[in-house]
Structure 1
Amino acid sequence: MRSPDIAILGGGIGGLATAAFLHRAGLPCTVYEQASELKELGAGLVVAPNAARLLRRLGVLDVFLRRAVELEVGWEFRRWEDGTILSAENLTTECVRLYGEQTYTAHRADLLDVIKSAVPDGTVRLGRRAVELRHDGDRPVLLFEDGERVEPDVLIGADGVHSVVRRSLAGSAPARVSGLSAFRALVPAERAPSFARRPAQTLWIGPDHHLVHYPISAGAFVNLVAVAPAGEYSVESWTATATVEELLTEFDGWDPRLRALIRAAGVPGRWALLDRLPLRQWSRGTVTLLGDAAHPMFPFFGQGAAQAIEDAAVLAGCLAEDVTDPARALRRYEQLRLPRTTRLQEVSHGRSHINHLPDGPDQEARDKSFTEADPLVANGWIYGYDPEVEMSA
Structure 2
Amino acid sequence: METVEDIVVVGAGISGLTTSLGLHRHVHYIDRHRQSPDTITCFAFTTWNNAWRALDAIGIGESLRQRHDLTPSILVASTFLVQPASEISFKGHEVRCLQRKLLLEALANELPEGTIRFSSKVVSIEGSGFFKRVHLADGTILKTKVLIGCDGVNSVVAKWLGLEKPVFTGRSAIRGTTKFEGGHGFGPKFRQFVGKGVRSGFLPCNDEEAYWFLTWTPSTKEEELEDDPVKLKQFVLNKLEDTPDDMKSVVQKTELDSISSSPLRYRRPLELLWGNISKGNVCVAGDALHPMTPDLGQGGCSALEDGVVLARCLAEALSKPASGEGINEGEECKRIEMGLKNFAQKRRWRSFDLITTAYMVGFIQQSSGMIMNFLRDKFFSKFLPGMLLRKADFDCGKLEY
For the criterion TM > 0.5, the same-fold answer is yes
Paired AA for residue 305 in structure 1: G
Q: Which residue of 2 aligns with 1:32?
A: 34
TM-score, normalised relative to structure 2: 0.84
Question: Matches of residues 272-291 of structure 1 in structure 2 within 5 Å?
Answer: 272-278=263-269, 279=272, 280-291=275-286
Q: Give 1:61 shift.
A: 1.5
Shift in CA distance, 299/83, structure 1 to aligned 2, threshold 3 Å? farther
Give the conservation status (yes or no) of the 8 Å contact 1:80–1:206: yes
Q: Give 1:291 shift.
A: 0.1
Shift in CA distance, 301/240, structure 1 to aligned 2, threshold 3 Å? farther
Shift in CA distance, 252/49, structure 1 to aligned 2, threshold 3 Å? same
Q: Which residue of 1 aligns with 2:321?
A: none
Shift in CA distance, 19/293, structure 1 to aligned 2, threshold 3 Å? same
CA distance in 2, matches of 1:186, 1:347: 26
The Cα offsets for residues 149-177 of structure 1, whole Å up to 9 and x where unpaired, read as 11110000011111111111125x45433
Give the conservation status (yes or no) of the 8 Å contact 1:201–1:212: yes
Shift in CA distance, 174/313, structure 1 to aligned 2, threshold 3 Å? closer
Q: Which residue of 2 aligns with 1:292?
A: 287
Shift in CA distance, 215/301, structure 1 to aligned 2, threshold 3 Å? same
Give the conservation status (yes or no) of the 8 Å contact 2:53–2:396: no
Paired AA for residue 109 in structure 2: S
Shift in CA distance, 191/224, structure 1 to aligned 2, threshold 3 Å? farther
Q: Which residue of 2 aligns with 1:99?
A: none
CA distance in 2, matches of 1:82, 1:370: 16
Number of residue pairs matched by the alignment: 372
1:179 and 2:170 correspond: yes
Q: Which residue of 1 aligns with 2:133?
A: 141
Q: Give 1:240 shift.
A: 7.2
Q: Name stretches of at least 5 consecutive residues in structure 2 with no aligned partner.
A: 319-331
Q: Which residue of 2 aligns with 1:80?
A: 79
Q: Which residue of 2 aligns with 1:338?
A: 348
> Which of 250, 255, 261 is the equivalent residue of 2:239?
250
Shift in CA distance, 192/244, structure 1 to aligned 2, threshold 3 Å? farther
Q: Give 1:69 shift.
A: 1.9
> Which of 210, 216, 224 is the equivalent residue of 1:222?
210
For 2:178, what is the secondary structure of its paired residue? strand
Shift in CA distance, 160/24, structure 1 to aligned 2, threshold 3 Å? same
Shift in CA distance, 108/236, structure 1 to aligned 2, threshold 3 Å? farther
For 2:268, what is the secondary structure of its paired residue? coil
Q: Which residue of 2 aligns with 1:348?
A: 358
Give the conservation status (yes or no) of the 8 Å contact 2:54–2:397: no
CA distance in 2, matches of 1:334, 1:240: 40
Moved more, 380-389 or 304-313: 380-389
> Which of 233, 257, 262 is the equivalent residue of 1:271?
262
Q: Which residue of 1 aligns with 2:376?
A: 366
Give the conservation status (yes or no) of the 8 Å contact 2:182–2:208: no
Shift in CA distance, 191/309, structure 1 to aligned 2, threshold 3 Å? same
Shift in CA distance, 386/235, structure 1 to aligned 2, threshold 3 Å? farther
Q: Which residue of 2 aligns with 1:50?
A: 50
Q: Give 1:333 shift.
A: 0.5
Q: Which residue of 1 aligns with 2:309?
A: 314
Q: Name stretches of at least 5 consecutive residues in structure 1 with no aligned partner.
A: 96-101
Give the conservation status (yes or no) of the 8 Å contact 2:190–2:203: yes
Shift in CA distance, 350/63, structure 1 to aligned 2, threshold 3 Å? same
Give the conservation status (yes or no) of the 8 Å contact 1:67–1:110: no
The Cα offsets for residues 341-391 of structure 1, whole Å up to 9 and x where unpaired, read as 111011111112221233634322322225763734x445422211238x9
Q: Give 1:118 shift.
A: 3.0
For 1:67, what is the secondary structure of its paired residue? coil
Give the conservation status (yes or no) of the 8 Å contact 1:33–1:126: yes
Q: Which residue of 2 aligns with 1:62?
A: 62
Shift in CA distance, 57/345, structure 1 to aligned 2, threshold 3 Å? same
1:165 and 2:157 correspond: yes
CA distance in 2, matches of 1:221, 1:329: 41
Q: Give 1:47 shift.
A: 1.3
Shift in CA distance, 51/144, structure 1 to aligned 2, threshold 3 Å? same
For 1:70, what is the secondary structure of its paired residue? coil
Q: Which residue of 2 aligns with 1:384?
A: 393
Q: Identity across aligned pairs (percent)?
A: 24
Paired AA for residue 170 in structure 2: G
1:261 and 2:250 correspond: yes
Give the conservation status (yes or no) of the 8 Å contact 2:296–2:388: no
